[in-house]
Structure 1
Amino acid sequence: MKNLSKHCYSFLIFSVILWTSCAPQLSLQSRGNFVPVSEQVQESEEFVQMITPYKVKLEQEMNEVIGVSSQALTRSKGESLLGNFVADVQKAYAEKVLNLPIDISIINNGGMRNDLPEGNITLGNIYELSPFDNYLTILELRAADVNTLAAFMAKYKNMSVSGMQISGEEDQLGEFLINGKPLEENRTYLLAINDYLANGGDNMGFLSELPAKEKTDILLRDMLIEVIREMNSNGEQLNAEIEGRQKYN
């Protein structure tokens, strides 16, 4: 009786396999046409009418003047006017809002996507400068970590910094100071940075395992907007100088 049951079960499995193998196969099909985008493509009047109110409102918001710059703040490899300005703002803002003694502030040059012009600075300028949702983070660094950071900056020259002065030659670290003072072996340094870098972005994996003193929900973009608005209300203009924070031969 057991053998009969086994044979029946095997026959049933075989029958299912045979039936499914003979069943018609279904497949999804779609059709489409390639339409090259060019000046010959006609606008959809219905679509234009639908988006126009939103487009006008957005343009009005982005064209709002929130500050004035005394000169164009531009980017470059290593130290730059824009990099010094943003790194300084980040350091001062973190100290004020978080009530922490920030030693070093860095911003990746690739994270700043556009320069700031001389004259009026609009809300749109800041969104173009900082389009990514990068959040302010404070890391705790020991002396060895600071040394690793300085060596990385000297090698790749892709960071802007506040609170540190670095010199190097042929991608090798020479000397560096923290706020004008030599590195102290037995103390902890606080680094203001964005969460992208703190999590190891831009090949900075050595930062990802470091303890975070603060993880905030403060966007770099919102921080810049708030600071620039406050400067404008106080009659201050944006400005920066090349101060020799990074000297590479």
Structure 2
Amino acid sequence: MKIFRLSSCILLAIIVLSCKGNSVEPAKIKGQRIAIDEKIEADAEIEKFITPFKEHLNKTLDSTLAYNPRPMVKSDGDLNTAIGNLMADVVMEQTNPVFKSRTGNEIDMVLLNHGGIRSGLNKGNISTRSAYALMPFENEIVVVEISGVKIKEMLTYLERAKTAHPVSGVKITMNQNYKVTSAKINGRKIDEDKTYFVATSDYLQQGGDNMVFFKDPISLNKVDYKLRNAIIDYFKKVDTLKVDKDNRFIRK
């Protein structure tokens, strides 16, 4: 073993010494930008292979799940919109049974973010593709237990945001200067000494959109439910969407 190691060291030394004095120059590198567009011809063999999968996927995505009687966009309201209310109510309705069965507790309210609504819903048939357009991200629903003090911080955040962040289970009234004049959860004033279970997305819970009041909660409960899947499941169980703007989050 010692002889082998010594031989290896001698061989390495010979290689290193033999390389000394030899000049090494970098090779010339030439780059070219190749546009990926419709001018590139498809590979017929690959196209033939993926066609059955593509057709099956499109059939699944475009199958009708529900009917929407009127178009919904996230810009159709000051502090609450029909599409935002729909998303928040879907989270409440679809997640609460799961959360209750696992913990024995019920969700008090839902808060999502306005920027998380990535598309509108056209009038007419609603499909799985509609749900993917509405929520293309892999965001998971989580339920955080936070104090009434943190809820007050949430209200301060909403005052500064002046945005129609989707909510459910809470009723908030602001004045014309976006200052909260009334806030109730489950019809009751917020108690700083109580704790509340708030459903949101894992992205927001981690401080996304500057919602830092969700970080370091008293408890964090994962329900193993993607927000998009909750939307799809809701679409499957209703025939016609019946959602509108209401007085859950208003300014007067």
Whether TM exceeds 0.5 here: the answer is: yes
Which consecutive unaligned segments of at least 5 residues does structure 2 have? 1-14
Deviation, 1:21, is: 6.7
Q: Residues 64 and 128 of structure 2 are in contact (CA less than 8 Å); yes or no, is this contact kept in structure 1?
A: yes
TM-score (structure 1 length as normaliser): 0.81
Q: 1:39 to 1:131 in 2, by over 3 A?
A: closer
**Aligned counterpart, 1:163:** 169
Q: Residues 112 and 200 of structure 2 are in contact (CA less than 8 Å); yes or no, is this contact kept in structure 1?
A: yes
Deviation, 1:24, is: 3.7
**Aligned counterpart, 2:206:** 199
Q: Hey, what's the Cα distance between the residues in 2 that align with 1:69 and 1:238? A: 5
**Aligned counterpart, 1:186:** 193
Deviation, 1:92, is: 1.9
Letter of the aligned partner of 2:249 in structure 1? Q
Q: 1:211 to 1:30 in 2, by over 3 A?
A: farther
Deviation, 1:39, is: 5.2
Which consecutive unaligned segments of at least 5 residues does structure 1 have? 1-15
2:24 corresponds to 1:25 = yes
Deviation, 1:31, is: 4.4
Q: Residues 73 and 239 of structure 1 are in contact (CA less than 8 Å); yes or no, is this contact kept in structure 2?
A: no
Letter of the aligned partner of 2:117 in structure 1? M
Q: 1:73 to 1:25 in 2, by over 3 A?
A: same
Q: 1:206 to 1:46 in 2, by over 3 A?
A: same
Q: Hey, what's the Cα distance between the residues in 1 that align with 2:16 and 2:79? A: 67
Q: Secondary structure at the match of 2:198?
A: strand
> Which whole-Å deviations, capped at 9, do the CAs of 1:19-68 have from their partners, x for residues lacking one?
77744436466544333455544444344334322221211111111112
Superposition CA RMSD, Å: 2.8
Q: Residues 81 and 164 of structure 2 are in contact (CA less than 8 Å); yes or no, is this contact kept in structure 1?
A: no
Q: Hey, what's the Cα distance between the residues in 1 that align with 2:212 and 2:27? A: 44
The equivalences for 1:1-249 within 5 A come to 22-25=21-24, 27=26, 30-37=29-36, 40-76=39-75, 78-99=79-100, 100-156=105-161, 157-168=163-174, 169-232=176-239, 237-248=240-251
How many residues get paired?
A: 232
Q: % of aligned pairs identical? A: 26
